[in-house]
Structure 1
Amino acid sequence: MSAVLVDDCPTGSEAVRAEGLRDGAFGYATGLTCRECGNRRELGPHYACPECFGPLEVSYDFPAITREQIEAGPPNIWRYQALLPVPTDITESPNTEPGFTRLLQADNLGAALGIDRLWVKDDSTNPTHSFKDRVVACALSAARELDAKVFACPSTGNLANAVAAAGARAGIKTVVFIPSNLEQPKQINSAVYTEQLVAVNGTYDDVNRLASEIAGEEEGWAFVNVNVRPFYAEGSKTLGYEIAEQLGWRLPDQVVIPVASGSQLTKVDKAFQELIALGLVEDKPYKIYGAQATGCSPVSAAFKEGHQVIRPVKPDTIAKSLAIGNPADGPYVLDICRRTGGAVEDITDDEVRDGIILLARTEGIFTETAGGTTVGCLKKLVETGQLDPTLETVVINTGMGLKTLDAVSDRVGPAAVIEPSYAAFAATDIA
């Protein structure tokens, strides 16, 4: 194989190989298309348009596919293999097999918030306990096909966990980069899978810039959210596919999604549009809402101010998995929320903590700070009249609360400390 250049790397050094790809390496994907100018280029380790520097995304020539064919597939994201940029023999390669997580009917939370029909899409049950396992599985497939030697990422935590675990399972060297102030449980959850955990003094945006530089200098490195980002991002579509399938092949009226880079929200919308185009669900209106923490809410601020351009911010929030001050997909989040009649909202750190506890005590789901943000924003959207409580609503929980224990450690604990006697128990307010 001869080498190709990676788009927009500072030195133009090769990062992963592309020429000589085997037939069907990316399934039914046909190329990469610029989201800004529509320029097309071949499948490969490219993530920015050479004409306008806009982001590239995967285009397809989908086959005819039925609900029955999908339902006959494995109980993970590969049941949607035909709709993803992965080879038809994807299940034969070692991977963490994420997806097809539960869609929980959340009557208790709905009652607490005054919502008639509410569901929680709970991605905390994925292999490394966040939705990032989905996107990493697609990125790993691309890295293999492009003959990468190192599997890497910059991360706010969950992605580092997923990349390290997936790399271990695949037997490929992994290197993950995180902000040095990341929550300790997330650091441990990465370091247990790989010795190559690199903590960087700076924000996630600083870490991401460093990753882009390394991708330009080092040969054979596949950074999941840099030079193979178009393939990586497609994994989030499976959230939308699953929601529709688990609702009996129909779309919900409203969906509330946390916003970090914004990619997850844009891909859920893309999934809904693809299902409509393929005739797998009925075409109907739906609204998409974004959720951010006030300490890092550039997309929410732009939405409320009526702007299309995102003004970068320096993150200052306990919701570190959402702490991306310059979100790559921010403008597209604005487009989708405005097009569908949704909104982007934000809440304080105290409201994030409240959201974590509310979900745990109503539905028995312990979410991390991103989920607390989403539940808290759902509550605020109802209270401010932006979300219709009579319509069927899905809220996405992206991760497990055991990774962010510090967020609520000073809010929960024993209701009483007593001696081991009935008299002591009877003297409490619990009896």
Structure 2
Amino acid sequence: MSYVKALKCRECGHEYPKQPTHVCEFCFGPLEVVYDYEGIKKILTKELIGSRGPNMWRYKELLPIDNDPTVGKQVGFTPLRRASRLARLLGVSELYIKNDAVNYPTLSFKDRVVSVALSKAKEFGFKVVACASTGNLANSVAANAAAADLESFVFVPYDLEATKILGTMIYGTNLIGIHGTYDEVNRLCSEIAGKYKWAFVNINMRPYYAEGSKSMGYEIVEQLGWNTPKHVVVPMASGSLLTKIDKSFQEFHKIGLLKTNEAKIYGAQATGCSPISTAVKNNWDIFKPVKPNTIAKSLAIGNPADGFYAAKTVHQTGGWCEDVSDEEVIAGIRVLAETEGIFAETAGGVTVGVAKKLIEQGRIPKNESIVLCITGNGLKTQEAVRLGKPPVIKPSLTEFDALVKDKIK
């Protein structure tokens, strides 16, 4: 049974029936899914959720599909683990990592949104799915479309990381590189979507697609014993993930699964592509689009679709935004790996680096609970971290002794 009532414009409030569309025809505002929360409240309990399998669909009443999922049935319920060593390094008492770097099947949070979008696309009867991507979405659409017997077209900036290109092509998709930035790729895809009538997950399917991100927030609450953390640091590309994590907390509170919701949400960007962070720090009402110049290519969206709403969410929850240099991104990747054994992609380095800044600034107190959202695996962006070559010795104990004499305590 579906609890989706309609699509609704986030600006003027005009409602639309459930259909593959994403823009209000009256004011051109973005559309969002509206649910029957009273109906959901009557059925969705902690006990019911706990009786279901360890995947994102344990919260299916709050996701926008009409029937059981047909794509990505094993996606989600990734680890939320206490990060004690990193906490000591940052000087905080209670730190957690929400680790979507091990999400199934393509090692990023994008498997959440794609599972919803493709399940919904099949309900609408689409045979071809597509996307514009900075990398992780490309991997996920290609993989999940292959498993779902859907033809797929994936459009990416031509200079994407080689590992993400390989991690997309391997699934037999129609991968097309575009000479231009992600924003230029996205504009082209809007034209293609209008002509070819495919299910573009982040265009005409966007209202449904974006809802999949809420599952990360639901899981955080459940894994913290049905509590929100005091502070959540989220990487921002389009800004959608940040807004949906906040929405997930609000929804759980609305239907009675949370007694209180006091979480402050913080946005993390790379300085080389920081339109949302810059707007928040300067107290601007709107952000200024930029041309990306950063190694954090998965976050390199210069004109973010949800930038306005992300900044609004940050302000409303009492959070903040920060950004970090490429050098700080690399340092963040390394410190997370060296302290917690988690190899994150560049977006993870952004999140860790920004968290460090916010703690040092005193914006995040050191004695309150903090969750860092790690959204992708470092195996996808290996070229961003150059560590040189390991030492090479002969198969000789003498040479080994000489090598480690200053390292063994």
Q: Report the TM range for the smaller structure's normalisation.
A: over 0.9
> What amino acid maps onto 1:276 in structure 2?
H
- What is the distance in 2 between the residues matched to 1:336 and 1:206? 26
**Secondary structure at the residue paired with 2:330?**
helix
- What is the distance in 2 between the residues matched to 1:411 and 1:388? 33
- Superposed, 1:57-76 pairs within 5 Å as 57-62=32-37, 63=40, 64=42, 65-76=44-55
Q: For residue 281 of structure 1, what is the aligned residue in structure 2?
A: 258
- What is the distance in 2 between the residues matched to 1:145 and 1:286? 35
Q: For residue 400 of structure 1, what is the aligned residue in structure 2?
A: 377
**Secondary structure at the residue paired with 2:285?**
coil
- Residues 73 and 87 (structure 1 numbering): CA distance in 2 closer, same or farther, change over 3 Å? farther
CA contact (8 A) 1:96 1:169 kept: no
- Per the TM alignment, residue 46 of structure 1 is displaced from its structure 2 partner at its CA by 1.2
Q: Are 1:411 and 2:390 matched, yes or no?
A: no
Q: With the length of structure 1 as denominator, give the TM-score of the two structures.
A: 0.91
> What amino acid maps onto 1:353 in structure 2?
I
- Per the TM alignment, residue 412 of structure 1 is displaced from its structure 2 partner at its CA by 5.2
- Superposed, 1:147-186 pairs within 5 Å as 147-186=125-164
Q: For residue 214 of structure 1, what is the aligned residue in structure 2?
A: 192
Q: For residue 140 of structure 1, what is the aligned residue in structure 2?
A: 118
Q: For residue 327 of structure 1, what is the aligned residue in structure 2?
A: 304
Q: Residue 219 of structure 2 is aligned with which of 242, 267, 280?
A: 242
- Per the TM alignment, residue 268 of structure 1 is displaced from its structure 2 partner at its CA by 0.3
Q: Are 1:77 and 2:59 matched, yes or no?
A: no
- Per the TM alignment, residue 420 of structure 1 is displaced from its structure 2 partner at its CA by 2.1
Q: Residue 102 of structure 2 is aligned with which of 116, 122, 125?
A: 125
**Secondary structure at the residue paired with 2:381?**
helix
Q: For residue 10 of structure 1, what is the aligned residue in structure 2?
A: none
- Per the TM alignment, residue 186 of structure 1 is displaced from its structure 2 partner at its CA by 0.3
- What is the distance in 2 between the residues matched to 1:343 and 1:419? 53
- Superposed, 1:303-314 pairs within 5 Å as 303-314=280-291
User: What CA deviation, in whole Å up to 9, does each residue of 1:281-323 have, x standing for no partner?
Assistant: 1113221000000000000110111102110000000000000
- Residues 96 and 155 (structure 1 numbering): CA distance in 2 closer, same or farther, change over 3 Å? farther
**Secondary structure at the residue paired with 1:296?**
coil
- What is the distance in 1 between the residues matched to 2:47 and 2:346? 37
Q: Residue 50 of structure 1 is aligned with which of 11, 16, 25?
A: 25
Q: Are 1:384 and 2:361 matched, yes or no?
A: yes
Q: For residue 13 of structure 2, what is the aligned residue in structure 1?
A: 38
- What is the distance in 1 between the residues matched to 2:361 and 2:72? 43
Q: For residue 398 of structure 2, what is the aligned residue in structure 1?
A: 423
CA contact (8 A) 1:96 1:166 kept: no
- Per the TM alignment, residue 194 of structure 1 is displaced from its structure 2 partner at its CA by 2.1
- What is the distance in 2 between the residues matched to 1:97 and 1:334? 32
- What is the distance in 1 between the residues matched to 2:94 and 2:229? 10
User: What CA deviation, in whole Å up to 9, does each residue of 1:37-94 have, x standing for no partner?
Assistant: 111111101101111111110000032211001111121111011111012422xx25
**Secondary structure at the residue paired with 1:121?**
strand
> What amino acid maps onto 1:365 in structure 2?
I
User: What CA deviation, in whole Å up to 9, does each residue of 1:82-111 have, x standing for no partner?
Assistant: 111012422xx2535210000011001101
- Per the TM alignment, residue 141 of structure 1 is displaced from its structure 2 partner at its CA by 1.3
Q: For residue 14 of structure 1, what is the aligned residue in structure 2?
A: none
- Per the TM alignment, residue 205 of structure 1 is displaced from its structure 2 partner at its CA by 0.4
- What is the distance in 2 between the residues matched to 1:94 and 1:351? 37
- Per the TM alignment, residue 411 of structure 1 is displaced from its structure 2 partner at its CA by 2.8
CA contact (8 A) 2:249 2:261 kept: no
> What amino acid maps onto 1:83 in structure 2?
L
Q: For residue 365 of structure 1, what is the aligned residue in structure 2?
A: 342
Q: Residue 108 of structure 1 is aligned with which of 66, 85, 92?
A: 85
> What amino acid maps onto 2:120 in structure 1?
A
- Per the TM alignment, residue 419 of structure 1 is displaced from its structure 2 partner at its CA by 2.4
CA contact (8 A) 1:175 1:194 kept: no
> What amino acid maps onto 2:158 in structure 1?
S
- What is the distance in 2 between the residues matched to 1:94 and 1:61? 24
User: What CA deviation, in whole Å up to 9, does each residue of 1:84-141 have, x standing for no partner?
Assistant: 1012422xx2535210000011001101101110000000111100000000000001
User: What CA deviation, in whole Å up to 9, does each residue of 1:234-254 have, x standing for no partner?
Assistant: 000000000000001111100
> What amino acid maps onto 1:374 in structure 2?
T
